[in-house]
Chain A
């Protein structure tokens, strides 16, 4: 079997601190290799080290062998595009926002493969047809959905003819159906060479097969055949990762609705339009006190818009929305955001933000400490600002802030989609538990049907 890429004791340091402990691996032709681990475990560093993209203050040790030769940094950089390529994590950051999709692929043929303009355009159009983007080539990246943009980015990145493909979290932020499509596309693209994928998604690892490496905090914990490891995990950490998949969760909420509880909100024949397009029509439901309601649907179907409409952040086009609980004040209808750092002001510390809230609503300060320990938030978090805290901690802090206001209704807009599975499980569990304790209704939006099934009393599909 042909060895395309071989690492011997590759480690990454910043100063004297080791970020990624020595790791050895080999990537063989036709056998995909997957690196599985949580965010912050050093997975991306490995890919950057292989490509030669590490920031200048990081140091690499060990040997990197490409196509059977030990190569220095500059030699590896000369292979970019033609032999070795790294796929972008989020397509928005790697595509030109002002250029038509087909041109972005065409330029690769034109300048990397040195074809003439006509031929390059024809090849680019063929490529787009192959990935199902026929008729979308004239659109700019912001006019494409997340999955389409990712397909475009993959097409552009692989058009140079590279055989060794490194994919860093290629499915981040995509829904289940889009994710499967991307995985298949990656497999098809790499059948002549090989594929090294970095992911935190156990399902992706399962679909890709091949060799699997599990990394925890910069250290290799387990290595072997993917099916073998995922079905018979040896290490505790691997078991934890597998257990954190929503379909493996235990049921958190009773599936039977408590019919005696009073309704806090009813929606009757709701219609919502955005940008001249009808998102949904004739939607009727009611939400009871302390109930967890899930909304499921593909991206762009109006899940988040529905939640915003219930909070009066968006106008409804037709139908009737009644808030029955008149006693609740406006600030008791709250929202948890998808991207935790963007939901906080970075200008002051989190403690200051909390103090602001305490002063504004005259909240009893004694309530903070027990809630913080319940949410396992360390005290030290209060002196830092939102950019210096991990996503999971920040989302738990958001829950803390919301709960202090005694909410009656909490709209959680994909609160865990940007968190890795173990953290996501913790956050979801805490959210559901604490909200039920407080008698607060939760509207949970997710693209993961399994997650909602395990946590919600009622699921609305759009």
Chain B
């Protein structure tokens, strides 16, 4: 697959953020929850490159941790939902009418519920659990892959090319590899990039309403809401998590590229 300039730009932003997160977590002299009440809401300085928050914690440490968490979650959700969605999408077409009907019912039920509400429901049952958050977001996201993959695969299954391969005795894995995957992969990659951005936004939204990751851990949405009361005293603090969220979403959208 050839990447366009904007896709390279998106990838570079993501890699830069990832490097920031890894270096920040491993090299920072401060720990995530280390408070210094003598130095609260400091402006960026030599000791604290990005300043300190209302409890005197290092913003750089917290931000790098939060970015790392967002990345881990978004990548895990992306992988899980794309694998599950693609597998079920192909199975729905190949498995015959019964499988298709059953999967169709399940998917329609999921589609009838607003995605964020489902995630909120799960998050409210077990607040602060990363695992539940991951499961809930993946559960919502695989549906998109399923719909798209199923629609494209239906065309490919009917195509003379696949029929001809089947008649020549090639097995199902070969037919998937040569016929179905080349047809669906561009769409799956695009969906995956958007899915990554959505996972980050969902997690931040949950943090913002206090049902996501719980303090004292750092998470972008949680940091935003914690720093919100101080927006007029220390606007640079509130700006940091917001800019990072915007950058990550922007980068994923650039990576998705535009379809010709």
Contact = CB atoms under 8 A, between A and B. Distances in A.
Interface of A: 311, 313, 329-331, 333-335, 337, 339, 342-348, 353, 356-357, 360-361, 401, 405
19 contacts: A313-B163, A331-B169, A335-B164, A337-B164, A342-B160, A343-B164, A345-B161, A345-B165, A345-B178, A345-B179, A347-B179, A347-B181, A348-B178, A356-B170, A360-B169, A360-B170, A360-B174, A361-B169, A401-B168
Interface string B156-192: 0001110111011110001000110110000000000
A405 B168 contact: yes
Contacts of B159: 342
B189 to A, nearest CB: 15
**Top 9 closest A-B pairs, CB basis?**
A347-B182, A331-B169, A337-B160, A343-B160, A345-B178, A342-B160, A343-B164, A331-B168, A345-B161
Interface residues of B, number: 15
Nearest to B185: A347
Nearest to A311: B167
B90 to A, nearest CB: 16
Nearest to B163: A313
Mostly helix, strand, loop or mixed at chain B's interface? helix
A344 B161 contact: yes
Interface string B41-55: 000000000000000
A334 B161 contact: no
Given A342-B159, A347-B182, A348-B178, A330 B164 contact: no
A357 B159 CA distance: 19
A344 B168 CA distance: 12
A346 B164 contact: no
B179 A334 contact: no
Given A345-B161, A356-B170, 19 more contacts: A311-B167, A329-B169, A331-B167, A334-B167, A335-B164, A337-B160, A337-B164, A339-B160, A342-B161, A344-B161, A345-B182, A347-B178, A347-B179, A356-B174, A356-B178, A357-B168, A360-B168, A360-B170, A405-B168
Interface string B22-35: 00000000000000
Interface string B129-170: 000000000000000000000000000000111011101111
Contacts of A343: 160-161, 164
Nearest to A402: B168
Nearest to A353: B178
A253 to B, nearest CB: 25
A340 to B, nearest CB: 9
B177 to A, nearest CB: 9
Nearest to A333: B167
Contacts of B161: 342-345
Contacts of B167: 311, 330-331, 333-335
Contacts of A313: 163
A311 B169 CA distance: 14
A7 B168 CA distance: 52
A56 to B, nearest CB: 16
A295 to B, nearest CB: 18
Contact of B168 (A334, A337, A345, A348): A334
Most chain A Cβ neighbours within 10 Å, of B160, B165, B168, B169: B168
A212 to B, nearest CB: 36
A337 B178 CA distance: 18
B174 A330 contact: no
Contacts of A353: 178
Contacts of B178: 345, 347-348, 353, 356
A74 to B, nearest CB: 27
Nearest to B174: A356
Nearest to B175: A345
A101 to B, nearest CB: 26
A357 B170 CA distance: 8
Most chain B Cβ neighbours within 10 Å, of A331, A339, A345: A345
A335 B159 CA distance: 13
Nearest to B178: A345
A172 to B, nearest CB: 19
Contacts of A339: 160
A330 B174 CA distance: 17
A333 B181 CA distance: 27
B234 to A, nearest CB: 54
A337 B168 CA distance: 14
A296 to B, nearest CB: 22
Contacts of B170: 356, 360
Nearest to A343: B160
Contacts of A331: 167-169
Nearest to B171: A360
Contacts of B181: 347
Contacts of B165: 345
A348 B11 CA distance: 27
Contacts of A342: 159-161
A79 B159 CA distance: 41
Contacts of B164: 334-335, 337, 343-344
B214 to A, nearest CB: 47
A455 to B, nearest CB: 23
Given A360-B170, A401-B168, A346 B163 contact: no
B172 to A, nearest CB: 13
A357 B160 CA distance: 17
A333 to B, nearest CB: 7
Nearest to A340: B160
Contacts of B163: 313, 335
Contacts of A344: 161, 164
